[in-house]
Amino acid sequence: MTALLAAALAGFAALSLEILGVRWLAPWFGTTSLVWTNQIGVVLAAMAAGAALGGRLARSGRPPLPTAAVLLGGAGLLLALALALLGPFCAWLLPPDLRLEEAAGIAVGGSLAGALLFFAPPVLLLAMVAPLLVEARSAARGAGRAAGEVSAAGTAGSLLGVFGSTYLALPVLGIRPTLALVAAALVLAGALLASAGRRCRRAAPALLPLLPLLAPDPAANANLPALPGLESEVREVRETPYQRLRVVEFRDPAAPGPVERWLQMNEGLDSYQSRWLPDSPWPGGYYDLFALAPCYALDGAAADRPVRFWSIGHACGAALGPVAAVLGGRDWRAVGVELDPAAVELGRKWLPATAAAAARTEVVIGDGRVALRGAPPDLDFLLVDAYAAQFEIPGHLATLEFFREARAHLRPGGVLALNLGTAARRAGRGRTVRGILGGLVEAFPAGGVRLHEVPFARNVVVFARRERPLAPLDALAATLPGGLPRELAGAVLPGQVREGPALDPGRPFLDDRSDLALALAREWLGGDS
Amino acid sequence: MAGRRLVSAAVRAVAVASLLMFAADRLGAQDPWAVPVDAAGCLARHAELRAAPEDENNLAARFLLHFACGALAEARSDVAALRRLAPEGPLGWRFGLRLDALDPSRHRRTRAEAERFLRRFADDPTVSPAERQAVAGLRDWLAAELEHAEAVAAAGRRARAAPFAALALLLGLVLLLLARTRADEG
């Protein structure tokens, strides 16, 4: 039984490290598919090497249980060392004021190095334990039965590690405390296993892994953005099952109150998931261009009917301000769909919409595409601003099939508006945007598709209208009400707009065939695809 | 990539700084910063300027308006048109600034070229106080951008080298464990 418990603990620790390891790296390197690939690949390689080495060690003549004890304790101490050194390593690697488009290549190399340095060694030792435990049990149980039992126990421990990481470690304990406890448990288990039923006099080293918790969390201010003349401060951090969120507040040292707040995900950098200004409904950037959605959608529509729209990727509801400003006194109702409830909670606390906008908006927690199936068939417009990681568009929200589903929920003349971040050198001309444009052009054959470059930003916002053409730019310009930010003027001038053949649409992404993830990786790692 | 962006940004910054002062000078008593604050006002002014004859004042005002609104494609067209109309124009062209001709990955050469430009500029007695003030801010900005680009390039080198160093350490650990097991077997 001792051996099986040791196997379970080793499995639990290895999978906890695999899952939590990426989240631990997230404040510096993000959680893109590239980072996950590094982590999973390194852990698997370490497991393979560890199993091979453990097998040799098992046949070497060393007593298996005491040797396994040393390996467990050693893994715990290596994990404790990682807890102390990971933060300084990441801080050494990353320069201050790094921009999102500069970060991708550094994140890939940095996360790979971090996984090799800090996660691979303890996982290697943990993977060496199982063959020793099989050797220990084989004499009494037979090799096959011993191998099956140890494997089952290890897998059970791994399952506990996977589910425990998501449902307990992240929301309740936190990453560093969890890993410190795991390290302490490994050291303690090693001591107990080594004592083999005698009174254990060497349990004190189990406290060593807890020491790094005495230091402040180095991840709290990782990649903290800076704005000229303003001080920045992290107001709250939340680890959710989906991502790491933090609220950053910017203050003028000479004035009371915040100047603005950002909700950032994972590595943050100079990017934000939501932006809030206390005295203005205009968050800036691509959010302001969402104000064009009602302008396009209500062109030619009856003026007295209530306006209904959905927003996928609702987060803190930053898109509501510009839309409400354009709708003015007109009656409207909105549904905001957000996958992560923590983003909604942080939004209500730190980046609140106006009371009037909040009263007209119902927030639904869930996947955007799944939720959309419950949408009415006659929406005036649909806003889509969804990102799985800093720059990764969820694959299922970028396909031809999704655009057709979205179209089916729009009334004739209704509009779909998408925000697309892009790192492509020729803004908005990489494979990602071209593929999405290809899907939109095919899904909205009888209407119009138009791309607006967002002034002073990496983003483009694309509008597609069902069954009716989009208003010509000069007619659109004539309908813009007063009081809109001047950047909206820039966004509707011909040089910032593409439509028709100038869109240069590419092959659409499909649900069962898509190179979107590869295209994004190539674009953000430094070249157009 | 960082270097390429730096060079193009530096060229833009020099062009913007010099064109803003050029525009201010040419527009005379008018406030060169009097771009309408809202979109509707800007669009109306855009239409008004497009309808007017295309002379230096008109192009300068259009450049200011388009740049303030973020309509950079229009702003670039205004610059091109101004260069055709006023080849003896703003200080970037006068001094033959060739940042755009440099290899974007060579920060030292970029810095050297920028220093050469700024020395010539500082020595030129025909440069107005307003132009000096505009370029003073530009010098600080350029120094900060160069420093940032060099820091990013250094981080990139570390990020490329770190996995190999980590792999070497890990292989060392594996070889050490392998040697121990062989010793035990032996």
Q: How far is CA B126 from CA A365, B94, B97, B113, B132, in A?
A: 65, 11, 17, 21, 10
Of A120, A480, A496, the CB nearest to B39: A480
CB atoms B40 and A105 under 8 Å: no
**pLDDT score, position A14:** 93
Write the ipTM: 0.77
Distance, in Å, from the CA atom of B146 to the CA atom of A400, rounded to the nearest integer, reads 43
- Measured from the Cβ of residue B20, the count of other Cβ atoms closer than 10 Å reads 19
Distance, in Å, from the CA atom of A496 to the CA atom of A324, rounded to the nearest integer, reads 24
CB atoms A110 and B162 under 8 Å: yes
Interface test with A, best of B69, B74, B105 (most A CBs within 10 A): B69
pLDDT above 50 (res B2): no
**pLDDT score, position A137:** 87
Query: Which pairing describes strands A332-338 and A361-365: parallel, antiparallel, or unpaired?
Result: parallel
- Better pLDDT: B127 or A526: B127
Number of helices and strands in chain A (H, E): 18, 12
Residues of chain A with Cβ-Cβ distance to B66 below 8 Å are: 490, 493
What are phi and psi for residue A369, nearest 5 degrees?
A: -70, -40
Q: Which of A409, A437, A460, A443 is nearest to A292 (CA)?
A: A460
- The type of residue at A174 is G
Exposure class string for A481-504: b at 16+ Cβ within 10 A, else e: eeebbbbbbbbbbeebbbbeeebe
CB atoms A53 and B2 under 8 Å: no
Distance, in Å, from the CA atom of A57 to the CA atom of A55, rounded to the nearest integer, reads 5
Helices marked H in A196-258: none
Q: Which residues of chain A have pLDDT under 70?
A: 196-205, 424-428, 526-529
The 3-state DSSP class for residue A1 equals coil
Instruction: Assign B76 a pLDDT band (cuts: 50, 70, 90).
Output: confident
Distance, in Å, from the CA atom of A127 to the CA atom of A311, rounded to the nearest integer, reads 46
- Whether A43 contacts A264, CB under 8 Å: no
CB atoms B71 and A57 under 8 Å: no
**pLDDT score, position A388:** 80
**pLDDT score, position A197:** 53
Q: How far is CA B156 from CA A108, B100, B109, in A?
A: 10, 23, 19
Q: What is the pLDDT of residues A138-147, one digit of tens each?
A: 888 888 988 9
Distance, in Å, from the CA atom of B23 to the CA atom of B20, rounded to the nearest integer, reads 5
- Whether B22 contacts B64, CB under 8 Å: no
**pLDDT score, position A428:** 58
Structure tokens at A501: 């053949």
Instruction: Give the dihedral of Cα atoms B51, B55, B57, B62; nearest 10 deg.
Output: 50
DSSP state of A417: E
DSSP state of A394: P
- The type of residue at B103 is D
**pLDDT score, position A430:** 87
Structure tokens at A359: 């009263």
DSSP state of A284: -
- Better pLDDT: A40 or B105: A40
Distance from CA of A339 to the nearest CA of B (A): 32
Distance from CA of B126 to the nearest CA of A (A): 32
**pLDDT score, position B20:** 61
CB atoms B155 and A93 under 8 Å: yes
| CA B176-A10-A148 angle, 5° bins | 105
Exposure class string for A292-320: b at 16+ Cβ within 10 A, else e: bbbbbbbbebeeeeebbbbbbbbbbbbbb
Of A53, A101, A109, the CB nearest to B160: A109
User: What is the secondary structure of A84-140 as a DSSP string?
Assistant: HHHHHHHHHHSPTT--HHHHHHHHHHHHHHHIIIIIHHHHHHHHHHHHHHHHHHHHH
- Residue B155, Cα to own-chain centre: how many angstroms? 21
Q: How far is CA A299 from CA A414, B47, B91, in A?
A: 10, 22, 47
- Residue A275, Cα to own-chain centre: how many angstroms? 17
CB atoms A490 and B156 under 8 Å: no
Structure tokens at A206: 């189990």
Of A59, A96, A112, the CB nearest to B185: A59
Distance, in Å, from the CA atom of A140 to the CA atom of A219, rounded to the nearest integer, reads 49
CB atoms A456 and B74 under 8 Å: no
Interface test with B, best of A43, A474, A493 (most B CBs within 10 A): A493
Place of tokens 């030292």: B108
CB atoms A102 and B173 under 8 Å: no
Q: Which of A423, A434, A417 is nearest to A506 (CA)?
A: A434
Helix A175-195 and helix A2-29: axis angle, to 10°? Answer: 150
Instruction: Assign B148 a pLDDT band (cuts: 50, 70, 90).
Output: confident
- The type of residue at A160 is L
Residues of chain A with Cβ-Cβ distance to B4 below 8 Å are: 425
Q: Which of B184, B30, B157, B78 is nearest to A58 (CA)?
A: B184
Distance from CA of B123 to the nearest CA of A (A): 31
Q: Which CATH number fits domain A274-524: 3.40.50.150, 3.40.50.10540, 3.40.47.10, 3.40.50.620?
A: 3.40.50.150
Distance, in Å, from the CA atom of A194 to the CA atom of A200, rounded to the nearest integer, reads 8
Long-range CB contacts (< 8 A, 24+ apart) of A468-471?
A468/A300, A468/A412, A468/A413, A470/A296, A470/A299, A470/A415, A470/A499, A471/A295, A471/A296, A471/A299
**pLDDT score, position B103:** 44
**pLDDT score, position B30:** 55
Distance, in Å, from the CA atom of A269 to the CA atom of A272, rounded to the nearest integer, reads 8
The 3-state DSSP class for residue B170 equals helix
Average pLDDT over residues B2-20: 52
Nearest-by-CA chain B residue for A112: B163
Cross-strand pairs, A311: A336, A383
Distance, in Å, from the CA atom of B76 to the CA atom of B92, rounded to the nearest integer, reads 15
Place of tokens 């055709």: B84
A-B contacts (CB, under 8 Å): 157
In a 13 Å sphere around the CA of B118, the CA atoms on its Cβ side amount to 19
CB atoms A109 and B71 under 8 Å: no
| CA A379-A381-A384 angle, 5° bins | 120
Nearest-by-CA chain A residue for B180: A57
What are phi and psi for residue A262, nearest 5 degrees?
A: -120, 145
The domain limits of chain A are 2-214, 274-524
Residues of chain B with Cβ-Cβ distance to A495 below 8 Å are: 71-74, 76-77
**3-state percent breakdown (helix, strand, coil) of chain A, nearest 5:** 55, 15, 30
**pLDDT score, position B89:** 62
Instruction: Assign B99 a pLDDT band (cuts: 50, 70, 90).
Output: very low
Give, for A247, the enclosing helix (H) or strand (E): strand A244-251
Q: How far is CA B59 from CA A408, A478, A491, B43, B62, in A?
A: 47, 23, 20, 16, 5
pLDDT above 50 (res B29): no
- The type of residue at B62 is R
CB atoms A93 and B38 under 8 Å: no
Residues of chain A with Cβ-Cβ distance to B182 below 8 Å are: 56
Residues 6+ apart with CB under 8 A from A132: A54, A57, A58, A64, A65, A67, A68, A71
Nearest-by-CA chain B residue for A479: B40
Cross-strand pairs, A200: none
Nearest-by-CA chain B residue for A124: B174
| Architecture of the domain whose range is A2-214 | Up-down Bundle (1.20)
Helix A516-524 and helix A431-443: axis angle, to 10°? Answer: 140
